[in-house]
Structure formats: C-alpha cells, structure tokens
Amino acid sequence: MKTLLIDMDSVICDLMTEWHKRYNEDYNDNLNVEKLECWRSEDYVKEACGTKIYEYLDEPGLFLSLSPLPNAIEVLERLSEHYELLIVTSSRTYAYTEKELWVEKHLPFIGKRNIIFTHRKDMIRGDLLFDDAPHNLEAFRDTGRTALAMNYPYNKDVDVPRVKSWLEFEKWLSMRK
C-alpha cells in the first residue's frame, strides 16, 4: 500500500482565510491568498504589521476554527481505503494540540496517531507529498519522490504537478494507479 503524506494548513484546512481575516480586521486591509505571489507574507502586509503577521499563527483558537477545504474530508475518507495516509504538518508553539484536536474532530478515520509534526517533510518516508509550501515541495521533489502542489499563486514557480482542488487531486491519483 502506498503512503501519501498530506499537509494540513492550506491543503486540508483553510488557514489563509482565517489568518488574513484577523490581520485585515486589525489593520483595515484586504489581504487574501490570491495576492500572495511568494511565500513571505510579510511582503504583502502594511508596514506597521510587517513580520507581526506571523503572530496571528500563535493565537489560541486559530487552528481549531479552521474550516476544511471543499471535498477534503470526503476525498480523504475514500483515499484511506486504498492508501496509508499520514498528515505531515509543521507547527508553532501550542498549535500542536489544536491540530490534533482538529484531526480528531474532522478526520477520525485518520486519527492523531497518523500526524507527524516536522519542519523537514522530505525526511519522512512516503511515496507522495501533497503540500503547498514551495520549500517543502522542492525538497521532497529533490529526493526523487513525487511532490504535488495544491495550486496557489505563492507556489506557482515550483516545478511540480499541481491541482486546484481535492476532487482534482483524487482524479490525478486515479490516473496513476
């Protein structure tokens, strides 16, 4: 059975909408994911905010409040019948606990035992990495394994296959069986 490594933030759940909403409310701005042409969010916020944009990621309750991306749960449940699924995610501060609780609530068929917290996803054994972060996609691809991007403007320059939705991901996988 093949092992799929699946990122959590902005792949399974919608981090950007809630993160940007909090920033936009505090700074009277209109930041959204479509404006991010590179990974460095601080390049797109008001000068008064700068790198403080990342402090929102440390706010209690942020990760518990995230919504699943459309069709993510249903597709993951179907894939769990044919693949070993591991959630590979990085985390700041206490968000580990919130991410585990989120998975227990939304993905009980995967469960918290199948979460790996790491900043080096390329070191985790698996056949495919489904991610959005350019550095993770490049590092995993460079190991000779398949990296697949959830398509966003900030990862457009990474030379890997890409999909725009969970249904497209499922179809992509089915064509490679």
Which residues form the catalytic set? 7, 9
d(CA 4, CA 13): 17
d(CA 10, CA 154): 12
d(CA 86, CA 48): 39
The DSSP H or E segment spanning 103 is helix 95-106
Instruction: Give the single-character DSSP code of 54.
Output: G
3-state secondary structure of 60: coil
